[in-house]
Amino acid sequence: AISTPSTCNIQHGPGLRHRFTGPSALYLKAQGRQLSSGVLPQSSASALMDTDTCTRRPLLCTSAPKSVQAVGKPSTPGLPSPGLAQASAALSQEHGQEALQEEPGPPGCETVIDRRDKLKKLSNAEILRAIIGNLWPDTWAHRVRVLTAIFLVIFGRFLHICIPFCLKTALDTIAGRPLRPAPYGLWHVPIVANHGIVPVILMYGLTRLGYTICSEIKEFVLAPVTHDVMQKTGTKVFQHLLEMDNRVKCHREPGGTAMMMEKGYQGLHVMHSGVLFNLMPTIAELFYVGYLMSYQLGGTFATVGAAVATSYTLWTVKMTKEKSKHRKKGNAIDRKSSGKVIDSLLNYDAVKYFQNEKYEVKQYNDLQTSRSDSAYLQSKASALLKMGQASVYTTALTISLMMSAAEVARGNLSIGDVVLVNQMIFQLAKPLSSLGTAFNSIAGAVTDVEKMFSLLKVQPSIKDAPNARNLRFTGGRIDFNNVCLHDEETGQRILDNVSFTIEPGSTVAIVGPSGCGKSTLMRCLYRFAQPKTGQILIDGQDIEYTKLKSLRQCIAVVPQEPSLFNDTIWYNIHYGNMAATHEDVENAAKAAAIHDTILKMPAGYNTFVGETDGNLSTGERQRLAIARTLLKPAPILILDEATSALDTTTEAQVLQALKRVTADTTCLIVAHRLSNIKMADRILVLGPHGQVQEQGTHAHLMKLKGAYYSMWKEQEKSEGTKIAADKPFYSS
Ligand SMILES: Nc1ncnc2c1ncn2[C@@H]1O[C@H](COP(=O)(O)OP(=O)(O)OP(=O)(O)O)[C@@H](O)[C@H]1O
Ligand SMILES: [Mg+2]
């Protein structure tokens, strides 16, 4: 589809548009979508490009709408439109294989406008609020579990601290040394020791066992709470994703969004167990160990302990930050990488048509190189972290052993005390190292959770107005009054002062050149788009002030690009009305002239179909979409080129059945084949800039000898005498 001889726009989703200049003039729109999937090993990428279409199926694990759609329809109806991949590939041939990239723009690219709504960064206070809000459960059953787990953690840590002291006391008892008063909290140890060596050794063993049992019980007591938090948050985010506008970036990049959500859940888990049950108890244990050392061994040992703790923590924090920086970069590359695989597979045919396998593999390979660079830097930071920790710890152990040996020689400390020092340093290292791990994983988790919560911050631009009322449907009169819509970034006019009326139960057809705004007009009625000025009324009520739910209940739509779920045919049709019976589904399929075709399939209605499944023809997919829409009990029907891929006979069958089923329905039909809409009550001709050029009945428009007349004659010429002989299928 050619716009001007010297410019070429390519839009990747409504968000990303590339304007190319050059001798070749193409005006294309494409909606590129990615799927969620795991990342494939690098060697698999080229292997995948060499496989045939069937082998791709198992990899495409979630449903996704068609990846590409061309704005410009070919002038011959029925011909498939080239999509972004084809356009991109075609352009890459012309522009010396240049890539269609977001950053930097390709040569010849004047402007790159990203119209997708970006995710906003959360403030620290918002992150904290979100995290705390998710840590404390909202039911008492779960609160009791959390409190039990907290008790088990505290008691377990207490037992943990008892272990070295029990050992020291046992050794001193064996050596027959008099026992000194025990430090705060450990009074029971000398009392037991006074009853002999066996009780104190038994206490040592039981304390060790008790510590392990407390840790393990805590895990399963807490598990339902953690999973409940994850489940509730996940559902909330998913629900929110479905409420957002279609233009948000995360809708265009489902692969990345699914990964973001998955990492967010894991992050919540880490935070839940990390902050409440690791970080806080570890800090408390550190303080207690410090107190124990100074009480039992004196200020010098405590100072060594404090120096160890401080240098260990500082090093851990520094290197963890470094690691987390590379982790963030790694995550971004992971998302791009999985997106690349999915995009190439969805555009498999285009890759093959233009023999760009090597180019695709190179792009993937470049991402893998960045990924391995990032993995290298992460491993380096991790190694430095562990080496630093080990150096601090070993130095402290050596110094303290030397100090305690000197004290033993002076008679100030016993062998039991030397063991205690040794154990304490170990004891100190354990929480310090878990503090490092906790800090590390919590830092990563905060990043992941922040990303997930940032999804919740994106608000839909089209929502119920304050004081919106339910739509009261009294017949289905629709009025478009001076409706205007502009592209906010480019200022391009999409709909220009459109005014027309549809009487209840009548049929209005909308025709016009490709890209003139026909689909947008329909989207405005369904409130997928919001006019800048003007009004759309249904039965006298401005739809801007009616509740979205009540409005959308009244309108059934067969979109221009129907998408199917990766499920059975039955599931896909039944989706139109969850209350429909098996018979209803079959009747809808019959009306859409797809029932017989389905029965011929190996598994009939249980045949598995999906968006990327090549087993259905475009016409079959369109008929499935029609059947699905027929199940929705709505008094207004929108058909946006719903039968464009069907042959004339099937189209006649479908349209006649539709007319029968929708006898009292107010219909809006977008069509390119004028013969189909000849008998509509009113035909609206849109001009190239979204303005109403003409409107009236077929006979009236033919008399005018204007745009409609020219289009009719044009089609007659291209289809010979066929059009004149055509029976008008859709008539009132
Ligand atoms: N949300 C949007 N923001 C900005 N521009 C948009 C938006 N939606 C559509 N457009 C632009 O509006 C113009 C009209 O698009 P629309 O899909 O309505 O055309 P159409 O008449 O249905 O074309 P076709 O016959 O090819 O289906 C196009 O240039 C498109 O890029
Ligand atoms: Mg359209």
For ligand 1, what atom is nearest to the CA of residue 512? Answer: 21
- Note whether 212 and 268 are same-domain residues: yes
pLDDT of residue 289: 78
pLDDT band at 146 (very low <50, low <70, confident <90, very high): confident
Is 458:242 a contact under the CB 8 Å cutoff? no
Q: In angstroms, what is the span from residue 66 Cα to ligand 2's centroid?
A: 15
Q: In angstroms, what is the span from residue 686 Cα to ligand 2's centroid?
A: 12
Residue 640 maps to a domain = no
The pair of structure tokens assigned to 678 is 């000849």
Range of the domain at 107: 7-114
Helices (H) and strands (E) in the chain, counts: 23, 16
Mutate to test the pocket of ligand 1, among 18, 246, 487 (most ligand atoms within 8 A of CB): 487
Residue located nearest, by CA, to atom 12 of ligand 1:
494
Q: Taking residues 228-251, what's their average pLDDT?
A: 76
The pair of structure tokens assigned to 6 is 């010297």
Contacts of 136 (CB under 8 A, 6+ apart): 143, 146
For residue 599, pLDDT over 80 is answered with: yes
- Note whether 306 and 176 are same-domain residues: yes
Q: Is 549 exposed, middle or buried (0-12, 13-18, 19+ CB in 10 A)?
A: exposed
Residue 489 maps to a domain = no
CATH number at 375 reads: 1.20.1560.10
pLDDT of residue 4: 33
pLDDT of residue 672: 80
> Percentage of the chain with pLDDT > 90?
21
Contacts of 384 (CB under 8 A, 6+ apart): 319, 322
- Note whether 110 and 131 are same-domain residues: no
How large is the C-alpha radius of gyration of the chain?
35
Q: Taking residues 539-544, what's their average pLDDT?
A: 92
Which of 425, 457, 489 delimits the end of a domain?
457
- Note whether 183 and 147 are same-domain residues: yes
- Note whether 65 and 153 are same-domain residues: no
Residue 687 maps to a domain = no
For ligand 1, what atom is nearest to the CA of residue 1? Answer: 26
Residue 267 maps to a domain = yes
- Note whether 243 and 109 are same-domain residues: no
Residue located nearest, by CA, to atom 24 of ligand 1:
514
Which of 424, 457, 490 delimits the end of a domain?
457
pLDDT of residue 100: 31
- Note whether 134 and 110 are same-domain residues: no
CATH number at 582 reads: 3.40.50.300
Residue pLDDT, tens place only, 459-477: 778 888 888 899 998 888 9
Within 13 Å and on the Cβ side, how many CA atoms surround 45? 27
Q: Taking residues 514-542, what's their average pLDDT?
A: 91
pLDDT band at 508 (very low <50, low <70, confident <90, very high): very high
More confident residue, 160 or 116: 160
- Note whether 53 and 200 are same-domain residues: no
pLDDT band at 544 (very low <50, low <70, confident <90, very high): very high
- Note whether 203 and 308 are same-domain residues: yes
pLDDT band at 244 (very low <50, low <70, confident <90, very high): confident
- Note whether 104 and 175 are same-domain residues: no
* Among 608, 602, 665, residue whose Cα is nearest residue 637: 665
Which of 633, 650, 668 delimits the end of a domain?
633
> Percentage of the chain with pLDDT > 70?
75
More confident residue, 499 or 132: 499
Residue 28 maps to a domain = yes
| Cα 258 from chain centroid (whole Å) | 4
Number of domain units in the chain: 3
Closest-approaching ligand to the CA atom of 559: 2
Residue 228 maps to a domain = yes
Local structure of residue 275 (DSSP, 8 states): I
What residues flank ligand 1, with Cβ below 6 Å? 14, 29, 71, 73, 487, 494, 514-520, 529, 560
Phi, psi (deg, nearest 5) at residue 540:
80, 0
- Note whether 16 and 73 are same-domain residues: yes
- Note whether 77 and 142 are same-domain residues: no
